Amino acid sequence: MPRPPKGVTIADVAAQAGVSLSTVSRALNGNPTVDPALAERVREAAASLDYRASPLARSLVLGRTQTIAVVVPDLGNPTFQQVLRGLSRAAAADDYHVLVADSGESVDEERLLAVETRRRTDGIVLCAPRMPQDELERLVGGVRPVVLVNREAGPGVPSVRADYRSALADELAHLHGLGHRSIVYLAGIERSIANAARLEAIEQFRAEHPDVRVAELAGGVDFDAGAAAAPAVLASGATAVLAFNDLVAMGLQSAVQAAGCRVPDDLSIVGFDDIPFARHTTPALTTAAVPAAELGAQAWQQLRRLLDADEPGDPLVLAPTLTVRGSSGPAPA
Amino acid sequence: MPRPPKGVTIADVAAQAGVSLSTVSRALNGNPTVDPALAERVREAAASLDYRASPLARSLVLGRTQTIAVVVPDLGNPTFQQVLRGLSRAAAADDYHVLVADSGESVDEERLLAVETRRRTDGIVLCAPRMPQDELERLVGGVRPVVLVNREAGPGVPSVRADYRSALADELAHLHGLGHRSIVYLAGIERSIANAARLEAIEQFRAEHPDVRVAELAGGVDFDAGAAAAPAVLASGATAVLAFNDLVAMGLQSAVQAAGCRVPDDLSIVGFDDIPFARHTTPALTTAAVPAAELGAQAWQQLRRLLDADEPGDPLVLAPTLTVRGSSGPAPA
DNA sequence: CTGTTAGCGCGTTCAC
DNA sequence: GTGAACGCGCTAACAG
């Protein structure tokens, strides 16, 4: 059972072409100080041997791996799946590879994986929504170049994020415009940055609209959490619900419908993220479209800039767009 | 702007501990032929300097990178997302890293990415549903160790796959048991292996049930394709539809419902895959649950076996489980 | 048990 | 313009 032909090295090519190792290296790297005739001979030899320089050896001597790492809390989460997709394609377009690590929602793992994967790569994209701010700031120092997704850590640390605050404000305005005066917010994880941003928007809305009741209910981040919240939502007497994300909204919608509640006639529901299936529920989900894949692509651009020029770009803030579909409608009389 | 402290090398540790490089290497790698006292001194020195061996240098000399590659056709496809997730977690549990590459549904890219990523890793997991069989068999020779997902390429090439044939047979039996005698199959990509397996099951069913009409309609692989097929499905007069996958089923269900057709009263719909949202449609989707994450985890086990012992495991076939939900019901009278 | 030497495969000075 | 030598950081074989 012969393994693939024992790695043909640069020495084999040199022998075949009748030149020295250095000449092969130069020729293959397009160094102009090589006699064109020789260069051609080297290329032919390399082609005939199907030679390609070992990425490992190159990495060691060049000090770069042409690879970046991305750490996500959960590869099962549609948002991070899209971030990864956008990042992967953007990096590939620039001939970079992507090492992916799933921290399983554990902050400890996040830290460990970040430093570990960073050592095998040229830079890292970090998605760490739950990591405490002080811990995050301590961590970024040790893993530069680094780009943060949906987090910030002071100047010099590039980041890309969606503006959750303004997006939730848009949703509140949407519901208010439809006549809703009693609204429930299904909160996500307490310590989550994303949750905090949403709460800010709610605070401001309350201040500007004293006539509207916005109640908070403990929620969660997945479909089941949304479904579990259904009884409490129905009991609250609210006419509209802001769910922490689309998964929660879909779980809620499914559960209240099963209980005989009509959406949006009896209850309006709005989600967050615009995951691919949001438009496919019945009714389709009104939501704030977070451009997750674009976030990933932009994260790569930020990282690339760091890699190429070593100068951090400005933090990038992408505004989600309110996407009105069938799950929200006028408040019941 | 000081980069992270210039990589501290094994030489620094050796100096700090007052021993030679080899002793440091041995001590840190748990080589028992080291004086316990010295070993301790080395560990302390390493800890005080926050030293960790360069993965790059280790990879070069050891001939292994502790990294595997996975090539998928589309990171936006829920099935491969789950495969990646299962693979990533299983590999991480064994201290292996995962390099991911998205071929963007292009067979050419698949081939290129496979050989390219393989060179930076110890092995590769290949998801190449559309690659022609002969091309696949030629490719695997050059990238071993390799594990195939949902494909096979002769003995010696480990693979993990779902049994699409038996799963579709189960679905057909399910519909037949509900009294359906006119069924439509919404086909996927022609040249796809997965499609061929489904067609086999249909052939056999036809032979065993001459009284049942099973028509094929051109379909696709995504939500929009399912929605686009709605008029043709309704015009066919069939009482049940087998969709190529859940996305197609959901698109179809959504579209026929919008046209006033009741599911499952007027039309039964069954999908394939059991993607996370299948249980969340209204009605919830009857489908064949393909254990994609488990497929990924098992792919790692197969690859690990190859890496550890160099002996391929037997091809693994996982049977999807028929999951009956609300979208299928008795045939209308 | 420890230190010295020789590579892993390549890019890059430095002399010719 | 080209080759010989050195080094990237580490492990392994070889002496002592």
Residue B59 in this model has a pLDDT that exceeds 90 = yes
Residue A3 lies inside a defined structural domain of this protein: no
Pair (A174, A224) in one structural domain:
yes
B48 CB-to-strand C distance under 7 Å: no
Q: Is 80 exceeded by the pLDDT of residue A1?
A: no
Chain length of chain A: 333
Of B4-8, B55-59, B136-140, B250-254, least confident by mean pLDDT is: B4-8
Query: Which bases of strand C sit closer than 7 A to a protein CB?
Result: 1-5, 7-13
- Residue B139 at interface with chain A, using a CB cutoff of 8 Å: no
Chain A hits for B76, Cβ within 8 Å: 81-82, 85, 276
Coil vs helix vs strand at B186 = strand
Q: Is the separation of the CB atoms in B115 and B143 below 8 Å?
A: yes
- d(C-alpha A185, C-alpha A176), whole Å: 14
Q: Which of residues 11-50 of B touch strand D (CB under 7 A)?
A: 11, 21-22, 24-25, 28-29
**Which residue, A196, B38, A193, is CA-closest to A185?**
A196
Which two three-digit tokens encode residue B16? 């700090």
| Res B191: pLDDT | 76
In a domain, B2, yes or no: no
Q: Is the pLDDT of residue A38 over 70?
A: yes
Q: CA–CA separation, A220 vs A163, rounded Å?
A: 20
Distance between CA atoms of A308 and A305, rounded to whole angstroms? Answer: 5
Task: Give the mean pLDDT of A179-193.
Answer: 90
pLDDT tens column, B70-100: 999 999 988 999 999 999 999 999 999 999 9
CATH number at residue B71: 3.40.50.2300
Q: What is the mean pLDDT of chain A?
A: 94
Residue located via tokens 């020779």: B141
Q: Match 């501290």 to its residue by tokens.
A: B8
Q: Is residue B328 part of a domain?
A: no
Which domain covers residue A56, as residue numbers?
10-62
Strand C proximal to B33 Cβ, under 7 A: yes
pLDDT at residue A4 tops 70: no
Which nucleotide is closest to the Cα of A7 by its C1'?
C9
**Is B112 within a domain?**
yes
Q: Would you say residue A1 lies in a domain? A: no
Co-location of B247 and B104 in the same domain = no
Same domain? For A306 and A158 the reply is yes
Structural domain total, chain A: 3
Distance CA B278, CA B269 (A): 12
Full DSSP string of B267-303: -EEE-SB--GGGGGSSSPPBEEE--HHHHHHHHHHHH
- DSSP string over A80-136: HHHHHHHHHHHHHHTT-EEEEEE-TT-HHHHHHHHHHHHHTSS-EEE--TTS-HHHH
For the segment 50-89 of chain A, residues whose CB is within 7 A of strand C: 51, 53-54, 56-58, 60-62
pLDDT of residue A282: 83
Query: Does B2 have pLDDT greater than 80?
Result: no
Segment A311-320 mean pLDDT: 95
What pLDDT is recorded for position A84? 98
Percent of chain B whose pLDDT exceeds 90: 88
Same domain, residue pair B279 and B194: yes
pLDDT value at A133 more than 60: yes
Residue A2 has pLDDT above 80, yes or no: no
How far is residue B161 from each of residues B123, B275, B319, measured CA to CA in Å?
A: 18, 16, 9
Asked if the Cβ of residue B54 lies within 7 A of any atom of strand C, the reply is: no
Are B285 and B144 in a shared domain? no
Q: Which of B100, B221, B281 to mutate to test the interface with A (most CBs of A within 10 A)?
A: B100
261-300 of A, contacting B, C-beta below 8 A: 276-277, 280-282
Do both B102 and B143 map to the same domain?
Answer: yes
Please report, rounded to whole angstroms, the spatial distance between the CA atom of protein residue B56 and the C1' atom of nucleotide C8: 11
The domain spanning residue B19 has which CATH number?
Answer: 1.10.260.40
Q: Where are the beta strands (DSSP E) in A139-202?
A: 146-149, 159-162, 182-186
Question: Measured at the alpha carbon of residue B290, what is the angle toward residues B284 and B295, in degrees to the nearest 5?
Answer: 145
3-class SS of residue B112 = helix
Nearest to A8 by CA among B131, B146, B119: B119
Give yes or no: residues B201 and B236 share one domain: yes
- State mean pLDDT over A92-114: 97
Contact B157, B231 (CB under 8 A): no
Label residues A198-234 b or e (16+ Cβ within 10 Å = b).
bbebbeebeeeeeebebbeeebbbbbebbbbbbeebb
* Residues of chain A found within 8 Å of residue B81, distances taken between Cβ atoms: 75-76, 81
Report which residue type is found at B182: S
Measure the CA–CA gap between A273 and A290, rounded to whole angstroms: 5
Sorted by sequence, the CB contacts under 8 Å of residue A322 that are 6+ apart come out as A167, A170, A171, A174, A286, A288, A289
Can you tell me whether residue B221 is helix, strand or coil?
coil
Considering only CB atoms, which chain A residues are within 8 Å of B310? 1
Q: Give the whole-angstrom CA distance, residue B125 versus residue A251.
A: 34
Question: Is residue B270, in this structure, part of any structural domain at all?
Answer: yes
A61 CB near a chain B CB, below 8 Å?
Answer: no
pLDDT at B3: 39
Q: Which nucleotide is nearest to A58 (CA to C1')?
A: C10
- pLDDT 10s digits, A40-69: 999 999 999 999 999 999 999 999 999 999
Backbone angles phi and psi of A185, in degrees to 5: -105, 120
What's the CA gap between B170 and B288, in Å, rounded? Answer: 8
pLDDT tens digits along B163-208: 999 999 999 999 999 999 999 999 988 777 788 889 999 999 999 9
Domain membership flag for residue B1: no
A-B C-beta contacts closer than 8 Å: 118
Element (H, E) at B71: strand B67-72
Q: Which nucleotide is nearest to B23 (CA to C1')?
A: C2
A206 and A251: one domain? Answer: yes
**A285, containing H or E segment:** none
B256 and B156 co-located in one domain? no
B170 and B268 in a single domain? The answer is yes
CA torsion A27-A32-A37-A41 (nearest 10°) is 10
Asked if A280 and A313 sit in the same domain, the reply is: no
The distance (Å) linking the CA of A182 with the C1' of C14 is 79
Distance CA A270, CA B225 (A): 26
Angle made by CA atoms B106, B108, B112, in degrees to the nearest 5 = 115
In a domain, B139, yes or no: yes
Pairing of strands B321-323, B287-289: antiparallel
| Per-residue pLDDT, A6 | 64
- Interchain CB contact of B53 with A (< 8 Å): no
d(CA A111, CA A132) in angstroms, rounded, equals 11
| Nucleotide of closest approach to B21 (CA, C1') | C3
Same domain as B300, residue B157? yes
Q: What are the tokens at B188?
A: 């996927």
Distance to chain B for A181, nearest Cα, Å: 29
Q: Measure the CA–CA gap between B46 and B13, rounded to whole angstroms.
A: 6
Token pair in block for residue B157: 């090439």
Coil, strand or helix: which one is B118? helix
Distance CA(B241)–CA(B252), nearest Å, equals 9
Instruction: Give the three-class secondary structure for B308.
Output: helix
Omega of the bond leading into B36 within 30 degrees of 0 (cis): no
